[in-house]
Amino acid sequence: MKRFIKYYALEIYTVLALSFIVAAAVIGNLSTVQKLVVVDALLFVLHEWEEGHYPGGFIKLISGLVGIKVDDEMSRASRIPAGILLLTLSIVPFVFDTTPLITIAVATFGIIECFVHTLGIRLFHTKQFYTPGMVTAWLEFVVSVMMITYLAVNDIARCYDYVFGPLLMIVCFGLLQKTMTLMVGIRYSDMPKMIRRQWTRRG
């Protein structure tokens, strides 16, 4: 069972996420925040597939940058923590749609994703203006801007929401990245040194 979950982590996440989206559509009468969260949930699914498969996968880019080999089984298993976080970022803000701090935290995730994938063009020295997952990351950014704009225009969020929402997401995102790097046998603190070493070799 464990091996099945590891191997089909992305597919399992996709089924669960799409089930959530269908359930939300059946419920109907959604608030503006809930509608944006559902759109985000769909983009999360599309992002995971784009990031993992087209044209070769974001993990493949990272492993090439730090100079390690990640087998297919480990690459697939690394989607488990990502899937858990994305399901959480879909369900929690949908249920607590009147809690602006949570909405801002989710919006921050979309902004971070866009920043990371765009920065990756320079970091990975890609030949084209693209990294796996960048298209959907930019779409997530658009939804994030819409979320924050809605909260701001309607004066729903308070100053502490704009402070602690992003902080909460930065911590969650950091833990996700640390977990995923540990799964492929890398200590997060060693990443900068490994990247510099690879850059030196390429130079």
Q: Give per-residue pLDDT as tens, 136-162.
A: 999 999 999 999 999 999 999 999 999
What are the Cα distances from residue 15, in Å, to 10, 18, 22, 31, 42? 9, 5, 10, 24, 11
Q: How confident is the model at residue 125 (pLDDT cuts 50, 70, 90)?
A: confident
Q: How confident is the model at residue 195 (pLDDT cuts 50, 70, 90)?
A: low
User: What integer pLDDT is reported at residue 40 of this predicted model?
Assistant: 98
Residue 166: asked if its preceding bond is cis (omega within 30°), the reply is no
Arithmetic mean of pLDDT, 169-196: 75
Arithmetic mean of pLDDT, 180-201: 65
Convert the pLDDT of each residue in 3-41 to its tens digit.
898 889 999 999 999 999 999 999 989 999 999 999 999
- Whether residue 135 contacts residue 88, with contact meaning beta carbons closer than 8 Å, is answered with no
Residue ranges of the domains in the chain?
Answer: 2-202
The rounded Cα 61 to chain-centroid distance in angstroms is 16
Q: What is the secondary structure of 47-101 as a DSSP string?
A: HHHHHHHSSS-HHHHHHHHHT----HHHHHHTHHHHHHHHHHHHHHHHHTTT-HH
User: What integer pLDDT is reported at residue 142 of this predicted model?
Assistant: 98
More confident residue, 73 or 145: 145
User: What integer pLDDT is reported at residue 150 of this predicted model?
Assistant: 98
> For the purposes of burial, counting CB atoms within 10 Å of the CB of 64, is it exposed (0-12), middle (13-18) or buried (19 or more)?
middle
Arithmetic mean of pLDDT, 32-59: 87
User: What integer pLDDT is reported at residue 169 of this predicted model?
Assistant: 96
